[in-house]
């Protein structure tokens, strides 16, 4: 972990929420009349990312941004000064403002104002470079307002020591990420726009309409990672985020779902995601760890009310809603699969021994189920488990393991196979998405080539490192050995006197 501050660079906007109630229509036109009851101002864009980053960790945060000498600029200086250190670059024109008119928590209209652009070369750029070179990490928050297009800033970023992690949150109206960036964090729509614009993005890069968001996002992330030479994490709202480094299987971090009936204000969720990711990388976290942390923080941010809530505050995420199983009672796996496929749905499959089902298994199955319309578990037979794990396994026979799996509402079908790998059953089943735990690298998946050959996707999900059947078995055997070995008694029996 580097000891310097987190430096956030980018375009700052003044976000204004005008909240009220809409209980009637205007007499002169069929539009709602909003009785305004509250007006709330906050930092937006790079300013919001900096404030959120300051609330996520105890480290110092420095914001480098452009602000105008006008009323919105003064308001932003006051807001930002309470949370972060700020280095201001002169702004030519008026400070950008984003105004939302809301009623009962729902946005009715958004008004954008302000034409300001960062000055080409202000005084004091040498001081800005010193700040950047001393940074523990850097977040570039591009909102297409000119900061990232400044040649002197791009040159400074290019001269940074390689050990400083840089996260780039891009914008279609801004510039493409610079070489050497550790992680790029476009939204799903932004990633699609960037991927289509790439010369290498052939028409075949798009998946069929109606496919789960993760499939298109994974393909776009891989295309962009190859083109930009950086890891790319595409944020997918309620679906979480997908990470690609270009040469490994995409890694998906699912998002916690809102409680039924809970309204979602996703405004600012991307800024929260980028802020959490860069803080995780600053602390020495791996890319996958940063992705999981960023999705968790963004989910909490949305659950608490999004940007409309006080910046930097976090509350526990709402319990995830569980998807209902689609298996019809008494039907064979082939019936379930053919029914989903006939409706144009997406088949998700995963595999393993599932000997002594534990919380890590349940988490994997729950998240895998969210990637499509049904989940099929390819289960190693007893002989297959024995060949993989040794003569003492499995502890639970295949028939019982299948019954336990089918008792979970996330599992729609179980298919048992005898081979060491599920390649043969995958050739026959041909699921749209094949899921494994994040402890598997794509190079270790013998079945990965099979899945890709017929056009499927290989996806890695977070792996609960401390939860495994082998650990449970080892702990149980250790306890049994302790009980069997002669031990000194923990109490003393006194001899009688008569």
- Concatenated DSSP letters of 415-455: EEE-SSSSHHHHHHH--SEEEEETTS-GGG-TTHHHHHHTT
Kindly report the backbone phi and psi dihedral angles of residue 464, in degrees, each rounded to the nearest multiple of 5, phi listed first: -75, 100
Asked if residues 234 and 196 have their Cβ atoms less than 8 Å apart, the reply is: no
**Segments of 323-373 assigned E as strands:** 347-352
Residue of 65, 54, 85, 53 whose CA lies nearest to 11: 65
Kindly report the backbone phi and psi dihedral angles of residue 42, in degrees, each rounded to the nearest multiple of 5, phi listed first: -155, 165
Q: In this structure, are strands 183-184 and 166-169 parallel, antiparallel, or unpaired? A: parallel
Taking the CA atoms of residue 20, residue 21, residue 24 and residue 28 in that order, the dihedral angle to the nearest 10 degrees is 10
Residues 6+ apart with CB under 8 A from 344: 210
| C-alpha to C-alpha distances, 17 to 52, 158, 206, 262, 384, nearest whole angstrom | 18, 37, 37, 20, 60
| Residue 271 bears catalytic tag | yes
Residue of 254, 233, 231 whose CA lies nearest to 190: 233
Residue 263, token pair as written in the block: 């309204």
Long-range contacts (CB closer than 8 Å, 24 or more residues apart) made by 323-332:
323/369, 323/370, 323/409, 323/410, 324/409, 325/409, 325/410, 325/411, 325/412, 326/373, 326/374, 326/412, 327/374, 327/406, 327/412, 327/413
Residue 42, token pair as written in the block: 């906050």
Which position among 11, 17, 271, 382 bears the catalytic label? Answer: 271
Residues recognised as catalytic: 271
């Amino acid at each position: 972990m580097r000891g310097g501050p987190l430096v956030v660079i980018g375009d700052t906007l003044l976000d204004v929420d005008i909240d009220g109630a809409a209980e009637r229509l205007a007499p002169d036109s069929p539009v709602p009349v909003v009785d305004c009851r509250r007006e709330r101002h906050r930092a937006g864009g790079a300013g919001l990312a900096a404030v959120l980053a300051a609330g996520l960790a105890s480290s110092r945060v420095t914001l480098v941004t452009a602000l105008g000498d006008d009323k919105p600029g003064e308001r932003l200086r006051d807001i930002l000064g309470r949370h972060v250190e700020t280095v201001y670059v002169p702004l030519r024109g008026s400070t950008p403002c984003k105004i939302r008119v809301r009623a009962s928590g729902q946005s009715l209209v958004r008004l954008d104002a302000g034409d300001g652009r960062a000055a080409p070369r202000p005084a004091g750029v040498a001081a800005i470079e010193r700040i950047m070179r001393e940074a523990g990490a850097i977040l570039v928050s591009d909102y297409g307002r000119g900061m990232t297009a400044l040649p002197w800033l791009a040159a400074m970023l290019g001269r940074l020591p390689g050990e400083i992690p840089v996260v780039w949150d891009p914008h279609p109206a801004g510039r493409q990420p610079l070489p050497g960036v550790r992680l790029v964090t476009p939204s799903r729509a932004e990633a699609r726009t960037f991927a289509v614009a790439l010369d290498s993005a052939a028409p075949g890069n798009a998946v069929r309409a109606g496919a789960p968001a993760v499939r298109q996002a994974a393909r776009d992330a891989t295309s962009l990672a190859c083109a930009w030479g950086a890891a790319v994490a595409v944020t997918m709202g309620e679906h979480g985020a997908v990470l690609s480094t270009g040469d490994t299987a995409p890694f998906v971090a699912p998002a916690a779902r809102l409680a039924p009936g809970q309204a979602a204000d996703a405004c600012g969720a991307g800024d929260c995601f980028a802020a959490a990711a860069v803080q995780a990388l600053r602390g020495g976290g791996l890319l996958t760890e940063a992705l999981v942390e960023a999705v968790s923080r963004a989910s909490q941010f949305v659950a608490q009310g999004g940007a409309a809530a006080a910046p930097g505050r976090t509350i526990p995420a709402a319990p995830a809603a569980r998807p209902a199983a689609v298996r019809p009672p008494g039907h064979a796996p082939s019936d379930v699969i053919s029914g989903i496929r006939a409706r144009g749905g997406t088949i998700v499959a995963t595999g393993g021994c599932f000997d002594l089902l534990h919380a890590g298994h349940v988490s994997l199955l729950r998240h895998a189920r969210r990637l499509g319309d049904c989940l099929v578990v390819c289960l190693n037979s007893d002989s297959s488990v024995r060949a993989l794990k040794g003569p003492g396994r499995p502890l639970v026979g295949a028939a019982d393991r299948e019954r336990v799996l089918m008792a979970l509402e996330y599992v729609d079908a179980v298919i048992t196979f005898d081979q060491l790998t599920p390649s043969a059953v995958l050739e026959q089943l041909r699921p749209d998405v094949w899921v494994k735990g994040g402890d598997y690298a794509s190079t270790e998946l013998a079945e990965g080539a099979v899945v890709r050959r017929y056009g499927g996707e290989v996806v890695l999900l977070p792996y609960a490192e401390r939860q495994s059947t082998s650990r449970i078995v080892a702990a149980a055997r250790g306890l049994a050995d302790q009980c069997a070995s002669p031990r000194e008694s923990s109490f003393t029996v006194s001899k009688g006197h008569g």
